[in-house]
Amino acid sequence: MGLLSDQDRETVRARLAVIRHPVQILFFTQTIGAPESVYVTKRVIDELVSLNDHLSVEEVNLVLDRDRAAHYEIEHIPAIVLLRNNEDTRMRFLGAPAGYEFMSLIEAVVLAGTDDSGLSTNSRTLVTQYVTSPLDIRVFVTPTCPHCPRAVTLAHRLAVENPLIRAACVEATEFMDLAQRFNVTGVPKTVVNESIEILGALPEDQFVRMVVGAPDQDGDGQDLAP
């Protein structure tokens, strides 16, 4: 039996219908000693791939294919890397994309399979102006958080918009070492380059400004000097 009801399958199928490019899901796993979340992730991916002919999945063994894991900088399982036409979209998932994060995975797959980041014109301008060196974004989430997908999708939109940006959705309860390292006491929590911290699901303009280090705006909509 599938994870989704017939009605939900049709809803997801309709959302995926906008995809125009082949999307390859690299699923990082291992055969011995894998946590239960690996099997949950496999079921989620298999269900998703069955709903659109543009989607495919390739399993990559973290232990046996260390070079490939290192190429994508994957150190934990389960992990997902999304490719568009075999090119890295720089969107990542660490942990099972279950609960509310299933919607984040759907939106990420749509981003990988289309030609537009979906960011506003103002956000694109901020990214062009302020992103001049690599940005590594981690968005810590839990499956029961209804606000987390907003932060995850915004981070993924930024990754699609600019090749200097990489964004990962991190399931905090699965990777307690990372959650403790970045002092995650609530979600969503976004960490940029291990230094900038953003709490909560913010509106796009505010989120993008904080991620890229742009100044706030004054009441007239003009950028304040740093």
Q: Read off the pLDDT of residues 130-178 as tens digits, 9 standing for 90 and up.
A: 999 999 999 999 999 999 999 999 999 999 999 999 999 999 999 999 9
Distance from C-alpha of 151 to C-alpha of 25, rounded to nearest angstrom: 21
How far does Cα 185 stand from its chain's mean position?
A: 20
What H or E segment, with its residue span, contains residue 192? strand 189-192
Q: Read off the pLDDT of residues 68-110 as tens digits, 9 standing for 90 and up.
A: 999 999 999 999 999 999 999 999 999 999 999 999 999 999 9
Nearest CA-CA partner of 82 in 177, 172, 188, 157: 157
**61-98 exposure pattern, b = at least 16 Cβ within 10 A, e = fewer:** bbeeeeebbeebebebbbbbbbbbeeebbbbbbbbbbb
For the chain, the domain total comes to 1
The answer to whether position 203 is within a domain reads yes
Distance from C-alpha of 113 to C-alpha of 76, rounded to nearest angstrom: 25
The answer to whether position 219 is within a domain reads no
pLDDT recorded at residue 225: 37
pTM more than 0.85 = yes
> Which residue type sits at 53?
D
DSSP state of 114: S
The answer to whether position 221 is within a domain reads no
Measured CA to CA in angstroms, residue 148 lies from 121, 133, 141, 143 at distances of 23, 26, 6, 8
> What is the average pLDDT across 174-194?
96
Whether residue 12 is predicted with pLDDT greater than 70 in this model: the reply is: yes
> What is the average pLDDT across 196-213?
97
More confident residue, 216 or 55: 55
Place of tokens 């590594």: 136
The answer to whether position 12 is within a domain reads yes
The answer to whether position 63 is within a domain reads yes
> Could you tell me the residue range of the domain that residue 146 belongs to?
6-212
CATH for 52:
3.40.30.80
The answer to whether position 68 is within a domain reads yes
Q: What is the β-pairing status of strands 196-199 and 189-192?
A: antiparallel
pLDDT recorded at residue 217: 73
Distance from C-alpha of 224 to C-alpha of 226, rounded to nearest angstrom: 6
Name the H helices within 19-147. Answer: 36-49, 66-71, 101-113, 121-130
The answer to whether position 163 is within a domain reads yes
pLDDT recorded at residue 221: 47
The mean pLDDT of the chain is 94
Measured CA to CA in angstroms, residue 170 lies from 104, 121, 221 at distances of 12, 28, 34
CA count, 13 A, side-chain hemisphere, 102: 20
pLDDT bucket at 216, cuts 50 / 70 / 90? confident
The answer to whether position 223 is within a domain reads no
Do 3 and 47 form a contact (C-beta atoms < 8 A)? yes
